[in-house]
Structure 1
Amino acid sequence: MSDAYTRIMARVIGAVAPRAALRWAAGRAALSSYIGAGGSDHNANWRPTRKSADAILRTDAAGLVARARSLDRNNVNVSGALRKIVSNVVHTGIRPQFTHSRTRAPLNDLEGSFNAWAKHNKFYVWQQGLALRHWWVDGEILGNLWIDPRRLLVGINPLRVEMLEQDLIDSNKNGVLANGHTMRRGMELDRHGDPVACWILSAHPGDYLYGTGLESARVELSRLVHLWLPLRASQTRGVSLMAPIVEEIRDLGEYKASERIAARLAAAFGLFIKTQHPELGAAMMPGGTQSQAPTVGDYLETGRIQTLPAGTEIQVAEASRPSSPYADYVRSANKDASVGFGLRYGNYSHDYTESSFSSERSAALDERRGWIGQQEFLTDGWCEPIARRWLEIEAATGRTDLRPEDVGINWQAPGWPWVDPVKDATANEKKLAMRVTTRRTICAEMGTDFDETLEQLAREEAEIASRVPQTQGEQNAPKK
């Protein structure tokens, strides 16, 4: 549009003063010095919106989430990618280690109580994995923290975590309240822009037992855990992390479906009857009625010898499938999708034809950095708030004498095996000798607890000493 305006004005000015037209056109060109902002022919229809993130999500979020969920349900690559992400980020669960904030002494009894509660509530594997999966597909997930007194009867902390899909947030709540607070798609913000409450519907709007017209109620955020990650400063709620790749994956699925249909048609053995004498009429058609000429059957039977009408010939229908660009297109589309998921191409598609050990090692290290970031995000946004509420209830019910503020929590996330065990072990030995790392750090990278490892080693050594008889040399050896 800008270029068209420049050309028109230059012609108008040039009709009167050609030199002035040149100066004016040069000045306009200087103003639009960014090539990406130019309005040339191939970019003429590229006019993206400059709306705020909330304004865009207000109209697009519902459709985007529905499409992402559809791919999660029906696309094998998407479902597999999400399972791989969850199994690597969560695995057996991100677990807490309680220590006294002043003495740094481990609080094993408190940790045991939390593990019992976590097992009762499926907190480690199922709940953490589901929260991470909802974050990827929906962009956000809510946890409603409530008290169930029945748990006290069985000796369990009464805290319960009810997981709420983002559909339960009343997105129609928008505007300014009388107290000066602002509502944006169901989130209530105070005068400083901090979220203080969320408006929750009484039931899922898409459930088959409930219709429309559901009422929403205000719930303080102190009772909720809201797991989401803003991608823009003007964003109040989450957006699906699959947003950039939804269309790409959908197009690939449609293309593969079309190729499958074409391959099935090509697999059918089809024959055509050709003739230079169309005046023969129905005699050469399958099931022809003219008795003076042989007829052709509808289907070709095994071992059949067929006499054809005079002047006709058989032509086999040939359709080679898949088409020649099929493999290249599928590989290219899967590479784009793997980038969107933060996975190695081979890990996403199980296609290792172009892989080498060095490239896979480099990609695996980069992939793990992304998983470590997601572990930190899940720990800070989901695990830590729930564990802190658990500590408050543990102290309030008299189940511990410790104050919640006196308890420190270190979270142990799952690790991964070494890519090259021999080289990695040798490298860690050198790092320990150089005093640039610690055994605790190495254990954490592998997803194991250093203290538990020492305790287990001590138990094993004691068991070996008690069950394996000493040799004669060991018995006569002088004691130190």
Structure 2
Amino acid sequence: MTKSVRKFRGDLVSTDGGTTWRAAGLYGSLGDSAHMGASVTSRELAGWNPLQGSADSDLLPDLSTLMVRSRDLTRNHGIASGAAQTKVDNVIGTGLRLSATPDYRALGRDKDWAVEWSQQTESLWRSWADTTDCDAAASLNFDAQTRQVFYGGLLNGEALALPLWMPDGRSKFATRIQVIEADRLSTPIGRIDGQYLRGGIEIDDYGKPLAYWIRKAHPGDSYIGVVPQFADWERIPAETPWGRKRVIHVHEKERTGQSRGKPDLTAVLTQFKMLDHYQRTEIQAAVVQAMVAAFIETPLDSNTLATMLG
């Protein structure tokens, strides 16, 4: 006997109450769903059927294209460039300042000790961060590196930094920071992404990073033919045997299981490109119109003609 169905608050169940419309495979076959956004019959949404992908399957195949398009947009579109620069200025400003405030009560100390310790620590920090000794390339201080990392995060969705131990016998501290552009983090040639390798990052069963595969040179250097190492990768463990991080991967995870960051301009790339094309077309049309010369032949005198033309 065929069972009838009844509708309760937008849901469909059999008369025995045991089979839902989803289990019966009736999704969308009997009209609109309870949620307008899930409709498969409305004119606006009928052709909208996104894939049910994971965070990595949705992002990783497109990440390289999103990166280069975001960078191209900020290079060539004034509004996009200004928006990115304004965000950097508002968040980073002239730089981040260390404010050392130890929980002296938990440490069994008094407030006087905390004040003295804070002053000494902040002084040592400034002696390292305010000089180029903190940079592996010896060209930027920590404030400039911070701006570079944040700006790279906007354009590429992420940035990487390698804390290196580089004693030189001159500086008081041997710690140096090497900032790495996200393009250099990738899966090596001959290997493919899978359960334990995602966009150049080795992970365990829980998604914890175990190692990072980083090119020895930027892949873009291949176009100028001066750096052959762009096809060589180095496997860098995520941390030392005693737990110190060897790779600082700065990115925002929007979804569970997301291994890489997504550029901030991703959702508006199409609109920005269309706006850029529209503005260029309008300006070109205005330039052409301004260059058109017109000649009028008439037996009227100049004063009469001027009056007629306003």
Return the letter of the residue paired with 1:170: S
- Where 2:178 maps in the other structure, the secondary structure is strand
Counterpart position of 1:214: 231
CA contact (8 A) 1:205 1:211 kept: no
Return the letter of the residue paired with 2:66: L
CA contact (8 A) 1:174 1:186 kept: no
Q: Cα offset for 1:125? A: 2.7
Q: Within 5 Å, which residues of 2 pair with 1:21-100?
A: 28-29=29-30, 32-39=33-40, 40-100=42-102
Indicate how the Cα distance of structure 1 residues 213 and 158 shifts in structure 2: closer, same or farther if over 3 A, else same. closer
Q: Distance in 1 between matches of 2:54 and 2:141?
A: 36
Q: Within 5 Å, which residues of 2 pair with 1:166-315?
A: 166-172=182-188, 173-175=191-193, 182-207=196-221, 208=224, 209-210=226-227, 214-221=231-238, 222-271=245-294
CA contact (8 A) 1:174 1:182 kept: no
Indicate how the Cα distance of structure 1 residues 157 and 36 shifts in structure 2: closer, same or farther if over 3 A, else same. same
- The Cα offsets for residues 231-250 of structure 1, whole Å up to 9 and x where unpaired, read as 11131111111111111111
TM-score under structure 1 length normalisation: 0.48
Counterpart position of 1:140: 158
Q: Distance in 2 between matches of 1:82 and 1:211?
A: 33
Q: Cα offset for 1:74? A: 1.1
Counterpart position of 1:114: 125
Q: Distance in 2 between matches of 1:203 and 1:189?
A: 23
Residue 128, structure 1, aligned to residue 142, structure 2: no
- The Cα offsets for residues 254-313 of structure 1, whole Å up to 9 and x where unpaired, read as 100000000011112344xxxxxxxxxxxxxxxxxxxxxxxxxxxx6xxxx9689xxxxx
Q: Cα offset for 1:30? A: 6.3
- The Cα offsets for residues 34-54 of structure 1, whole Å up to 9 and x where unpaired, read as 222222333232221211121
Q: Distance in 1 between matches of 2:280 and 2:53?
A: 36
- How many equivalent residue pairs? 246
Q: State, as a whole percentage, how many aligned pairs show the same letter.
A: 29
CA contact (8 A) 2:131 2:142 kept: no
Q: Which runs of 5+ in 2 are unaligned?
A: 1-25, 133-139, 239-244, 300-310
| Bigger helix fraction | 1
CA RMSD of aligned residues (A): 2.6
Q: Cα offset for 1:115? A: 0.4
- The Cα offsets for residues 339-372 of structure 1, whole Å up to 9 and x where unpaired, read as xxxxxxxxxxxxxxxxxxxxxxxxxxxxxxxxxx
Q: Cα offset for 1:31? A: 7.4
Q: Distance in 2 between matches of 1:193 and 1:212?
A: 29
Q: Distance in 2 between matches of 1:253 and 1:212?
A: 36
CA contact (8 A) 2:59 2:262 kept: yes
- Where 2:152 maps in the other structure, the secondary structure is helix
Q: Cα offset for 1:58? A: 2.3
Return the letter of the residue paired with 1:143: A
CA contact (8 A) 1:95 1:124 kept: no
Q: Within 5 Å, which residues of 2 pair with 1:284-433?
A: none
CA contact (8 A) 2:200 2:214 kept: yes
CA contact (8 A) 2:88 2:151 kept: yes
Larger-gyration structure (1/2): 1
CA contact (8 A) 1:200 1:217 kept: yes
Q: Cα offset for 1:189? A: 0.6
Q: Distance in 2 between matches of 1:270 and 1:33?
A: 63
